[in-house]
Amino acid sequence: MNNKEKRPSIESTKFNFSRLASSIKQNIRSVKQGVLLSGLLSIVLGFIIWIFLRDISQIGLWFVLVGLILLILLGLLSWRSILFFIFGRRGRYGLNSSIIFLSSLGLIIVINSLLYWLVSQPNQPEWLRVDTTATKQFILEDQAVKVIANLKEDVKITVFIATNTPEKAAGWRSIEDLLLEFKRRSKKVDLSYERIDPELDPSSAAKYGVNYFPSLVIEGIDSRRSQIINGRQGTTIFSEQDIITGLLIVSQIKQKKVIFLTGHGERDITDFDQTSKGMGLIYSDLMTQNYKVLSATSQELAILLSEENIPAVVVIAGAEKGFSIQDSAIISEYLWMGGSLLVLIEPELTPEGIKTFLYKFGLAVGEGTIFDMASFVAPKPSYLQLKKTNGQILPHEITKDFDVLYFPGSAYIGSTYSPDTIPIAENGEPFVIHVPLAFTTLESWAQKTQENETVKYNSESDTLGPFPTIMLVEAISEIGKSPKEKSDGTLAQTSIVVIGDTDFASNKYSSSAKNADLFVNSINWLAKDYELITIRPKTAAFRELVLTKSERDFIRWSGWLLMPISIGIAGMVSWWRRR
């Protein structure tokens, strides 16, 4: 009985065309489903390869192309089903949704393309470029934009750098971002750039005399003047300041003289030992900003003044002895002629001649060394830490964006006149104006360490703070002397910056925090090179997200599962309500 039931009937063995057609349709449907699945998987896999495996991104594009071809073939084979799906009752609703989606997507693409085109234009609207990073990593400083606006000829920048390693390639991308920003900001003249691999084209490097890599050459197209800027190792190969300096030199902006006075125990600007008290590193910083830095005695300065060859700034960096009345008179004459002066004090070693000279401008150098128990670098209370968060650093062009300064030993600078008692010129302008830029805290005092090595406040012999440690003076004359009238009828102006410490600018400490910036910004301000103030290498703000294991697991699993599950549940609820 069972065997008989399993035998095929005579009718079933006969040829049946309708049965064959039905079987073929089912097989074709299975093939179409396979082609659809293969096409979609090929496109998804291609995008994954193209996005995440950049070394074989070409293969990813081939996968996408194969997937598109499979979908096109499927569309040709199933055109009737597609038309029914589109123009059926459900299809019309889907078609409306698709039109809305494609229209929105097209509008987004058009707006994005328009914005991209606007950004690439030399005369782009300012509102298009907004840098939201904490240290403004991707836009130029206002001072740099002013320098670019003053260029008188087209400029070409040639960068000699290889890109045969990931580190070098990353370095070139960073340089290109910076140069592209310069190019965008140059609206009056054409500022172009190109990269040359010195390993593949050594003759071009030899043509410019470049023998160190990476380097860039800034060249004036008309004047053919050029300046070579050597790069540095690390993430910031070239800074904004490097390019600005090269542009200033190529544009033949007149070099301003900065003279370091010698002959009284001042610091040596030719000493480049990084652990010494010399100031060779500061000298290098000034040279990179197109200053002509010289050293001279008081007598040599007097000769320059007699020839009306007036330096932009004179620096007295830690004079300790032998500052005579004659030296003071020469500096007074220089300031009376409109010069500017930077004085760095050496605590408890400052000559009387310096103190007497500063007294003419209403300033007094405090006796002793400052100790600050509330803000110092352990274990030395005399190693001052001046912090903006403590309110110790006041806002000014010189101290802009300063967060902390370190003074290894400082005297204080005081005013000997109150503002009400300072003489006033006929035009109503006061002879001198004092502007303090930094203070110690309330828990500071000044103590003569040469007489008492014990670090302890003595109410009978010590002076209680807080104290100014940086004092700025704007003056038209010494107190007790008549102002000098210039040929245009205005009064000659002079500026002085007095800092209670010298070691902060030494090779040993200049790299600490904003110490070097304080010195260089002071020179910029005194020389009236305001466009150079604060153009310093930008550091990327480091923001680390510190998580516990449970917090990390929550973020991981919620990202992997919570969103997909939530979307799936929402879809199921929607389907259940509409079924």
pLDDT for 149 equals 85
Q: 200 is in which domain, residue-wise?
A: 133-242
CATH of residue 144's domain is: 3.40.30.10
Question: Which position has the token pair 């179409």?
Answer: 32
Instruction: Verify that 107 and 159 share a domain, yes or no.
Output: no
- Could you tell me if residue 176 is inside a domain? yes
- Could you tell me if residue 551 is inside a domain? no
Which one of 532, 549, 565 terminates a domain? Answer: 532
Radius of gyration, alpha carbons of the chain: 37
Instruction: Verify that 388 and 422 share a domain, yes or no.
Output: yes
Q: What would the pLDDT profile of 272-314 be if each residue is shown by its tens digit? A: 999 999 999 999 888 877 788 999 999 999 999 998 888 999 9
Instruction: Verify that 364 and 492 share a domain, yes or no.
Output: yes
* Residue 526, helix vs strand vs coil: helix
Instruction: Verify that 279 and 376 share a domain, yes or no.
Output: yes
Instruction: Verify that 47 and 185 share a domain, yes or no.
Output: no
Label residue 184 exposed, middle or buried (CB < 10 Å: 0-12, 13-18, 19+).
buried
Instruction: Verify that 69 and 216 share a domain, yes or no.
Output: no
Residue segments in the chain with a per-residue pLDDT below the cut of 70: 1-30, 54, 85-95, 120-126, 129, 134-136, 235, 252-254, 450-453, 530-546, 579
Instruction: Verify that 295 and 441 share a domain, yes or no.
Output: yes
Instruction: Verify that 238 and 264 share a domain, yes or no.
Output: no
pLDDT for 18 equals 64
DSSP code string of 390-433: GT-B---STTTT--EEEESS---EEESS-GGGS-B-TTS-BSEE
Instruction: Verify that 404 and 344 share a domain, yes or no.
Output: yes
Which one of 208, 242, 276 terminates a domain? Answer: 242
* Contact between residue 297 and residue 305 where contact means Cβ atoms under 8 Å apart: no
Q: Give how far Cα 184 sits from Cα of 38, 173, 243, 300, 464, Å.
A: 46, 16, 15, 46, 54
- Neighbour count for residue 337 (Cβ, 10 Å): 14
> How far apart are alpha carbons 449 and 461 in whole angstroms?
11
For the chain, give the mean pLDDT.
84
- Could you tell me if residue 562 is inside a domain? no
Instruction: Verify that 175 and 303 share a domain, yes or no.
Output: no
Domain count, the chain: 3
pLDDT for 253 equals 65
Per-residue tokens: 235: 């993430």
- Could you tell me if residue 566 is inside a domain? no
Q: Give how far Cα 269 sits from Cα of 283, 405, 521, Å.
A: 6, 22, 18
Nearest of 318, 444, 472 to residue 385 by alpha carbon: 444
- Could you tell me if residue 57 is inside a domain? yes
- Could you tell me if residue 3 is inside a domain? no
- Could you tell me if residue 406 is inside a domain? yes
Instruction: Verify that 344 and 199 share a domain, yes or no.
Output: no
* Residue 444, helix vs strand vs coil: strand
CATH of residue 337's domain is: 3.40.50.880
* Contact between residue 290 and residue 250 where contact means Cβ atoms under 8 Å apart: no
Q: What would the pLDDT profile of 446-497 be if each residue is shown by its tens digit? A: 998 866 667 888 888 888 989 999 999 999 888 888 887 777 777 888 999 9
138: left (phi over 0), alpha (psi -120 to 50) or beta: alpha
Which one of 67, 85, 118 terminates a domain? Answer: 118
pLDDT for 91 equals 63
In sequence order, the 6+-apart residues with CB closer than 8 A to the CB of 19 are none
- Could you tell me if residue 194 is inside a domain? yes
Nearest of 269, 318, 340 to residue 524 by alpha carbon: 340
Instruction: Verify that 365 and 509 share a domain, yes or no.
Output: yes
Nearest of 413, 410, 422, 386 to residue 471 by alpha carbon: 413
> How far apart are alpha carbons 400 and 387 in whole angstroms?
13
